[in-house]
């Protein structure tokens, strides 16, 4: 399944939908037969002019820009559809690399729920922190979403713009500096430039001048499990009426499919404490992937030692062999059954890791 098919997995051409910010690369293009209304802050004429002025956008790409049906901020999608008397009529909403830019995710999700039919689907492609320039940024906390909602924030904060710039990560690959494709590379090759003086000065100057300009930034930072926890926690608190259909890890990004569901039994399940703790452990596992120490340990486990080499006591060798066996078992279980089933095995793995060199 290619990327577009993965994002449109729960969409048909017969359904009515909205695409957030398709720019010059629509996913559900009208020219391809989709009944999909583009939403953008600019009208099509402005978008085409901006594309013509951008040397990185070819004429062929600019020609893919479609007429914009909903003009305004996606944060206010609820108001936009309400103004057209179209609330509750849409089957789906799709978005690619837009959600992380939203200054008020809770308001956006509430607006999507207002636009969608009961059981309507929101499908998004979202960058994974481990695979892009957010590499060193911590994942977003629920408190940040709640604070943005309380403030009814409509633009990225100066702090978010600062974080995006001072922690902008590069992959140093043979003299080239790449801001993407960081997933599964050696953490030692990823770094940030020392630009603290510049970004700090900009923040102070904007604050002193009470600058209200819109400075784009990644307002939220995710891994698949951290995103899932944010959605589930927001639903549990009654902030958004979405359940998780599935979240698919695709390397540098992931695909999230959510469904409108207002059932308290679904949004506040009886076993939520166990599910939440499991997600927190998965988030910790995902964070470890960008650790140099973790990568070296994985390499050591995956590299067979020469038969003649005696580098550790026999008991350590037995523990390492058992650890490999357990991790193989966990990997199989994760791909075939509920992740929660593997919790006892994961705890046993951690026990072996902790006792291996005592």
DSSP state of 317: H
Q: What pLDDT score was predicted for residue 355?
A: 44
Q: Is the pLDDT of residue 315 over 50?
A: no
Q: Is 166 helix (H, G, I), strand (E, B) or coil?
A: helix
What's the rounded Cα separation, in Å, for the pair 7 and 19?
11
The model's pLDDT over 264-278, given as tens digits with 9 standing for 90+, comes to 999 999 999 999 999
Domain boundaries in the chain?
3-152+218-272, 304-355
CA angle (298, 303, 307) in 5-degree steps? 140
Q: How confident is the model at residue 351 (pLDDT cuts 50, 70, 90)?
A: very low
Using alpha carbons, select from 217, 207, 220 the residue that is nearest to residue 156: 217
What pLDDT does residue 313 have? 45
User: pLDDT band at residue 332, thresholds of 50, 70 and 90?
Assistant: low
The DSSP element (H or E) to which 302 belongs, if any, is helix 292-302
What is the structure's pLDDT at 122?
98
Angle at 228 (CA atoms; ends 141, 122), nearest 5 degrees? 115
Q: What local confidence, expressed as pLDDT, does residue 337 receive?
A: 47
Q: What is the mean pLDDT of the chain?
A: 89
What are 75-108's pLDDT values in tens digits? 999 999 999 999 999 999 999 999 999 999 999 9
Which CATH number among 3.40.50.720, 3.40.50.300, 3.40.50.150, 3.20.10.10 corresponds to the domain 3-152+218-272? Answer: 3.40.50.150
Q: What is the largest distance, in Å, between two alpha-carbon atoms of the chain?
A: 76
| Cα–Cα dist 168/48, whole Å | 29
pLDDT of residue 303: 72
pLDDT at 340: 52
C-beta separation of 131 from 252 below 8 A: yes
CA trace torsion 286, 227, 165, 189 (10° rounding): 20
Q: Is 148 exposed, middle or buried (0-12, 13-18, 19+ CB in 10 A)?
A: buried
pLDDT of residue 38: 98
* Dihedral sign of CA atoms 122, 78, 140, 272 in order: negative
Write out pLDDT tens, residues 11-27.
999 999 999 999 999 99
């Amino acid at each position: 399944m290619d990327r577009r098919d993965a994002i449109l997995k729960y969409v048909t051409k017969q359904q009515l939908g909205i695409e957030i910010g398709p720019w010059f690369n629509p996913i559900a293009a009208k020219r391809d037969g989709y009944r999909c209304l583009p939403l953008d802050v600019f009208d099509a004429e402005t978008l085409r002019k901006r594309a013509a002025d951008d040397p990185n956008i070819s004429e062929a790409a600019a020609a893919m820009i479609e007429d914009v049906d909903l003009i305004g901020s996606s944060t206010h999608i609820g108001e936009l559809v309400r103004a057209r008397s179209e609330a509750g009529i849409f089957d789906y909403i799709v978005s690619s690399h837009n959600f992380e830019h939203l200054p008020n995710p809770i308001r956006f999700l509430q607006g999507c729920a207002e636009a969608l039919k009961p059981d309507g689907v929101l499908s998004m492609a979202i960058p994974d922190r481990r695979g892009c320039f957010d590499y060193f940024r911590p994942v977003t906390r629920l408190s940040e979403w709640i604070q943005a909602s309380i403030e009814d924030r409509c633009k990225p904060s100066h702090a978010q713009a600062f974080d995006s710039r001072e922690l902008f990560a590069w992959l140093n690959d043979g003299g080239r500096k790449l801001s993407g494709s960081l997933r599964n590379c050696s953490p030692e090759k990823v770094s940030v430039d020392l630009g603290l003086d510049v970004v700090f000065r900009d923040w102070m100057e904007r604050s002193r001048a009470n600058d209200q300009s819109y400075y784009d930034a990644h307002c939220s930072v995710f891994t698949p499990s951290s995103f899932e926890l944010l959605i589930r926690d927001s639903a549990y608190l009654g902030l958004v009426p979405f359940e998780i259909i599935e979240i698919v890890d695709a390397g540098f990004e992931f695909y999230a499919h959510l469904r409108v569901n207002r059932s308290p039994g679904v949004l506040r399940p009886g076993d939520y404490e166990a599910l939440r703790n499991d997600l927190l452990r998965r988030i910790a596992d995902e964070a470890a992937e960008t650790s140099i120490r973790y990568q070296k340990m994985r390499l050591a486990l995956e590299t067979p030692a020469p038969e003649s080499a005696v580098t550790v006591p026999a008991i350590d060798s037995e523990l390492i062999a058992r650890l490999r066996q357990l991790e193989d078992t966990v990997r199989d279980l994760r791909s075939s059954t509920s992740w929660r089933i593997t919790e006892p095995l994961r705890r046993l793995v951690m026990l072996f890791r902790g006792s291996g060199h005592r």
